[in-house]
Structures are given as structure tokens and as C-alpha cells.
Chain A
């Protein structure tokens, strides 16, 4: 356990060196946040139907999405791992007395945590003090807040498990571009990051509900705003757990299989 913890720590320290990048990230996320909110605002004003989610809930949804970007985006990737595989430095990784899956899982998790640490809090804090209607609201009650934290955390763990498949695929393709793009675009769409899932037509919603992607973003964000009631949230958390166990189990098998046929590139 302590080895994984140390990797996490070192990765955090490493990631926190890049303050300028974090600052730029915060600015970008505000830009996107405002843009989305304004688009939806216009949309809500002129919509002849009652939207499936209130504007207040939606604004909270968007700020959460922007501040926890590092927790929910599949394109957020660890180039170091890609270079390890394509340059052959994986040789050193394989002489460590660690299960590679767990080792990389810790690295990926830490990469996302360190990035979120510097970005999410500034965004969240400022978002609470924005003028109406742009400001964020607190969750309706403490239980919802706890459920949200649980869902967000499990969502993060689930996302890392999903992203691991991108890294495994690089053993075969030797280039991360294709798989990142494919899994990234599909995953983000079905996670509700492009349009929130309640806005999708019914048939698309039923597909999204079958896939694990929405559990990483859409689900925790809607738990926060109370759009998903508490008992349903508990159910969702169970589903998250089942997916997590399944994906990690399969991922480990796939990675071990890839490692058995590993070719250490470059002599």
C-alpha cells in the first residue's frame, strides 16, 4: 500500500509544480462555464416546453463540471505512461515489485488529483460568489452533500479504470491518438459533458444509462443539485461499485495479457 501512496504523493508534488498551467486552466474553465450557461439561459428563455432540469440545477451542474474537469474528462491523459510504453522505458517499470495495474492506477489517479487540487477549489469558491443567475448553490442538505462526495469519488475511480483501457490499447497500436480520441469523444458524450443527459432524447438516454460513462460525471453532478433523489442516488452508487469492480477486474486481465507479449521498444 505504501508504494502506491508514495507514487501518489510524488505525482502530486510533481503536478503541483506547474502553477501557471493551473492558472491558465482556471481561466479557461471560467470562459467555458460562462459560455455554456449563457447558451442554456437563452435556450431556457425561449423554450416552449418545460425543460427536464431547472436552470439553477443546470448552472450548478456546469460549474461542477468545469471545476472537476480533471475528474471527468477522458482526454485528460498521462503522457508519461504513453512514452513509457512507446519508448521502451517500461522495462524499468517491469522490474519493480509491484503489480503494474495498481501502480499505474495510482499514477493516473494522482495525476487527476493534483490537477484538480489546483483548479477545482478556486473555481468552486469563485462560482459561489458570482452574481445571480450565475452563482452556484450549496446542495439542498447534508445527506445529499455526502452522497455527492461519495458519488464523485467513485466516479473518479471509475473514470481512471475506464481510462486504463486507453493505455492498454497503446501496447497494440503504439500511438495514443486514436484510442484517446475514440474513447474520449464517445465517453464524454455519454457522460453528459457535451449536453446533460436529461436533455437527450429518450432512446439516447436509455443507451447512456446502460453505459458506465454517465456514472463518472452526470450522475454525481445531478446528485449534488438534488435532481436525482437520495434513494435513487444510493442505487446509483451501488451500480458505480459494480462497474468499478468489473472494469478493474477486466482491465487487469487485459493488461497482464498485453504485458506477456510486451516488446521493449528500442533495444
Chain B
């Protein structure tokens, strides 16, 4: 370190920073030092006072959402970085049908093989897009994979003993929504709405660009995950579930209420079936809506998608997915449950 500083000084006198505004990048390590200082100071000074039950419950749920999502996010980011660094673009053109119209359902069905929750699927989908996969197909994958992978389907079967049709309906409805949403995006979506994330291209060996992509994606997606986790924890503590249950008996309203609850609670798709099963007052169709909407639209996903693909995209795609998910759940519930 000291060596390098010495070289720079001898190269240019006066140093190039003179007379310029210090770029933010150079200051940020010092901000970091302040942050760590606050952390140490706060632990001694403030920690004894931060004991209000509501604050603690909020913090527990907030930390729980972040901690629980972390392994999935790390896995998703790793997979996404591996896709960009090690899988040549030509692989995807061979693996997926050339016509986008057919690539959408194939990509949606391929979601069944990625055993993760929704936090993993966002970085993977963005990695696929960066590798030249048709955005609509990557989006179908994004929506399908957290809902139809084997872990989630097994969890659903376990949570609803004696009601195997719930898992079947969940699989069918989720895949349908994913494919239809992909097709709608293919037909009506405009390229300008979707920001395909650019990746820092590392120079040198492949592992270098792999590490670079991972770190970039993790920092980016992780920050937005925290936004989603904080919002979901707030809703969890503030919104009393009691008044949700008061509408359980009303047919269409109860479906909408559980769909909104899925958005607010932001429960990992591998656990949401247990929560749905515990909502005994609601009809099977309403529970199905909870299971179909949750993995596709929730607060932490909204934050992640906005951060990854841009606000113009999120403002269009998220309402589209929500409406489709509710409509398909109602239809599937009518036919299957």
C-alpha cells in the first residue's frame, strides 16, 4: 500500500485531486468507518434503550427475512454469475426454441428444476437476459421457478395433508400465469421499458469476471432485498391479521384479501404453504390465490425487480402479474378445488 502511494506522488506533483471536488468514491471508506464507529458506540450507549416490544418484534421479523433470504440470494447470485461467466451464449440459443413464442413455455417449465425461492430467481433471470435469452422467456422463468420447483411442491403436499389437489392446482396455476405473463410481455412489452442489467466485464481470466459479477449482483440485489424485508416486517407488525379474517366468508373479496396478504407478508415460497394452511377460515380458492401470488408478487420481489430491471418495468410487469395470478387462481380454484 505504502509503496503505491509513493509511486503516485512521485509521478505527478501536485497530485491530480488538487482543485477538484473529491469524488464520492474516495470518501465512502470514511463513511464506512463512521458507520462502524456508530455501531460500536451504539452497542454501548443505545442498546439498553432499544427494548420496546413492537420495535423488537419488528427487528426480529426484519432480521429473520434478511437472514432467511441470504442463502437463497447468495445461491442465485452464484448461479447467475456462473451463467454469465462460464456458459457461452451459444448454449442458450441451442437449448431454447428459436421462436420466442415457444421459448416462453419452455423457459417457464424449466423453472421446475431450480430449487430456490424468489430471491434466487431474480438474479438468475437477469443473468439469462444478459446472456441473450429473450426477456419474455427469462421472465416466464422468473415467475415460474419459485412456485413450481420440487421443494415447494413437496412442502405444499405436506402442508395440506389429504388435499393433494392443492399442490396440483398450485403447480398448474403458477405455470399458466408465468407463461401467459411471458406471452403478454412478448406481444405488448417494449424494449425501452426493461433495463437489461449490464455487468461489469472483468478482464483477464474467467473466474475474475465470475467474482466480479457475483459481487456486483449481490450488493445490488441485497440492498433491495433489505428494502423489501423492512417493508414486509413493518406490515407484519402493523397490520392486524384479525381484520383480514373478518372478511373470510365473502367469496371474491376473500380471494383478493389473501392475495394482498401474500404480497404484504413476503413469505419465502418454501414456507408459504404452511401459513396458507393455517388460515383455516378462508376458502381453498383464496388459499390457492395466496400460494400463486406470493412467489410472483410480494414486497421484497417488488423491491428486487425495481432495482434490477428498473421502475418502468416494475410499474407494468408487477400489476400484470398480480391480475393474472388472481384471475388464474380463481379459475383454477373453481375447476380443481
**A and B: bona fide binding partners:** no
Q: Which residues of A contact B (CB under 8 A)?
A: none
